[in-house]
Structure 1
């Protein structure tokens, strides 16, 4: 964004100047039409966004919304839905068209800024959610001090500021239908890939995501101890295992996607690995739909009630994702 302000428009940014060819020539030169992959991506993104709507509606219910963890989960859900527009719906459209950066430079530049900012924002939201759950289990007074009432909204300004930094001051990602993913290098000028390097993004992927995974591991240990205290050693294994696999799944998907994205922007990797990294990015924003419905009884029952299905009224364990 700072370069748009500096140069006056996207077309005037020297490293993003596409005047050497027409959009059609750029597509023919660097692009590959992928209609099947495009339709699959668009279908996935639209489906996940539709499935997210009743989940968010349940989270907005008064009894849920008054809890700080649900406020954070709502924000994370909204960010996930927006990110799915970038990595699935718009990506699917671009793949279907066989587009590269210079085919739709304005759309891809702006979408690339948004996608990068949303990914980094979601990393901090996830970290905030785990900290919220950890403090609620171990330091309830601290949790109330940091997250009660309006303080939750104040905490949530941090991921907004963090994500905005990547939007305004770092290199955006650019789509390539040949690789079916987003790179920092828009592939306009040969041998200039180093000039598009985004060091803060690498820092985010390797450090912030790793810290979030460590926090999830700590949360699993603390929750296991709490369950043992309440239910005894013979009754806790099922819940502890469930929570562990939920946390491990979230961490594994995000961490592998993060590492692949860092590597593929510095060295050439096989196409299947590049596509795997992109699929994991999509999964990281879509998987919460299935995790909430499968492992969070409060949300699952709320969604079923809205669909007219009779459910048990038994209270559920506090949300953990």
Structure 2
């Protein structure tokens, strides 16, 4: 965003000047249409976002919302939904059109800033979630200091401002249908240049990998001690233990994807690995919804109850609507 303020508009930024060809010619020269894959991504993003709506509504219930972990999970869910709108739904539409950066340069620049900020913010939120569960599990005093009551909201300002930094000051990503992912290099020329390299993003991903390793060592030690005191039967019904396991699974997916994205910025990888990395990115934001519904009994029960209530309520409303129309 700072480049927009510096040059007055996106079209005037030298590194992203697409005036050499028309939008249609850029797509024809460098784009590749992906019909079925694009449709799949649109469907995937839409379905996961629909799944997230009842999940978040359950998390907002007073008995759960008062818990710090659910406040963090709500923030993660909102970021996931926004990210899926871009890395799945918008990506699918652009893939079907065979778009490249210069097909929609202004749109790519703005959306690329947003999705980059969302990714970096989600990385911090996931780490905060795992740290929250570990502090709670170890009964460390730092847990109450950071997450007691509404202090959780103050902690969640960290990922907000962190993501905002990348939106304002870092080079954005843009979609390229040939590689089926969002790249920092708009590939306007065949010459590769290090001017598009996003150093803060590389640092973010490396730190995510490093910190995740530290958290896993801590996790292993804590879980090893707790498992000896908790029977398998009790583990299935212990909400704190369930959330700990789910947080670890979410963090694992982030860990793998971060490694791949770090390698993408260091060495040239085959296209199929880049596509896999993009699918992992989509999975990062979609997996929590699936994990909550399959492994979190509390959320699953709440969603089912809401569905049953809606199913019972809607037909009654329809009948009343018809009765009112007949009476008229």
| SS at 1:267 equivalent | coil
Equivalent residue, structure 2, for 1:106: 106
CA distance in structure 2 between the aligned counterparts of 1:269 and 1:137, rounded to whole angstroms: 40
- Distance (Å, rounded) in 1 between the aligned partners of 2:275 and 2:190: 22
Native 8 Å contact 1:217 1:247 kept in 2: no
Q: How does 1:1-321 map to 2 (within 5 A)?
A: 1-231=1-231, 246=246, 249-308=249-308
TM-score, normalising length: structure 1: 0.89
- Inter-partner Cα distance in structure 2 for 1:61 and 1:82: 22
Deviations 1:166-209 (A, max 9, x none): 11111111110011101110001232431100111111112124
SS at match of 1:10: coil
Distance 2:134 2:252 in 1: 20
The CA distance in 1 between the partners of 2:233 and 2:62, in whole Å, is 32
SS of the equivalent of 1:207 reads helix
User: What per-residue deviation string (whole Å, max 9, x for no partner) do you get for residues 262-315 of structure 1?
Assistant: 222343321211100000000000000111111111111111111228xxxxxx
What SS does structure 2 have at the residue aligned with 1:188?
A: coil
Rounded to whole Å, the distance in 2 between the matches of 1:178 and 1:3 is 26
Query: Is this contact kept in 1: 2:133–2:243, CA < 8 A?
Result: no
- Give, in whole Å, the separation in 2 of the partners of 1:187 and 1:259: 23
Shift in Å at residue 260 of structure 1? 2.0
Deviation string 1:2-57 (CA, Å, 9 cap, x unpaired) is 10111111111000000000001100111011111111111100110000000000
Contact 1:257/1:280 (8 A) holds in 2: yes
Per-residue displacement from partner, 1:109-156 (whole Å, max 9, x unpaired)?
A: 111111111111001111111111111122353322211222111000
**C-alpha displacement of 1:235:** 5.6
Seen in structure 2, the aligned counterparts of structure 1 residues 247 and 137 have a Cα distance that, compared at 3 Å, is closer
Unaligned runs of 5+ in 1: 310-321
How far is 1:217 from its partner? 4.7
Aligned equivalents of 2:213 and 2:80: distance in 1?
Answer: 18
CA contact (8 A) 1:113 1:167 kept: yes
In structure 1, C-alpha distance between the alignment counterparts of 2:252 and 2:145, rounded to whole Å: 31
- TM (norm. structure 2) is 0.87
Q: Which runs of 5+ in 2 are unaligned?
A: 310-328
Considering only aligned residues, what root-mean-square deviation do their CA atoms show, in Å? 2.2
Distance 1:217 1:308, change over 3 A: farther
1:46-96 deviation per Cα after TM superposition (whole angstroms, max 9, x unaligned): 110000000000000010001111000000000000110111011001101
CA contact (8 A) 1:42 1:93 kept: yes
Which SS does the other structure have where 1:11 is aligned?
coil
Bigger-Rg structure (1/2): 2
1:239 Cα offset (Å): 8.7
Aligned residues: 307
1:16 and 1:188 in contact (8 A); partners too: yes
Partner SS, residue 12 of structure 1: coil
Cα offset, 1:159, TM superposition: 0.4
Summarize the Cα distance change of 1:268–1:85 in structure 2 as closer, same or farther, 3 Å threshold.
same
Determine the C-alpha separation between the residues in 2 that align with 1:125 and 1:308.
32
